[in-house]
Amino acid sequence: VRHEIKCIHGAKDSLKQVLMETFATLSTSEVTCLLSKPDIALTNAKDKTTMLPKVEQMDTHVKWVLREMTEEEEEDGAAEEEEVNQEAVEQPPPSAVSPADVTGGDFGTD
């Protein structure tokens, strides 16, 4: 679990579950919209104007990083596949090698 909710100022622990159920299924945009509403009070009111936009920026950044990682993995996989294919082209399959190739052939002796 990458989060911790601590109830303060006498709030009941049952509030933890309510918060988790409320926010667990929301998208970043939905969370930002919900938290920006006037009925949501913050200890520091400026956080609505300074921190909420950072949530959207972080979401965009994380998605970009994940997309870059995925593309790199796909490129690495394609490069490995190309290397394997190239090796297969350079080496004939075992059935293409005749016994004469292995034994040296007859070299014109009768």
* DSSP assigned state of 107: T
| Measured distance CA(6)–CA(16) in Å, rounded | 8
**Predicted TM-score (pTM) of this structure:** 0.51
* DSSP assigned state of 38: T
At 15, the pLDDT band (50, 70, 90 cuts) reads very high
pLDDT beyond 70 at 8 = yes
At 75, the pLDDT band (50, 70, 90 cuts) reads confident
59 contacts 28 by C-beta, under 8 angstroms: yes
43 contacts 19 by C-beta, under 8 angstroms: no
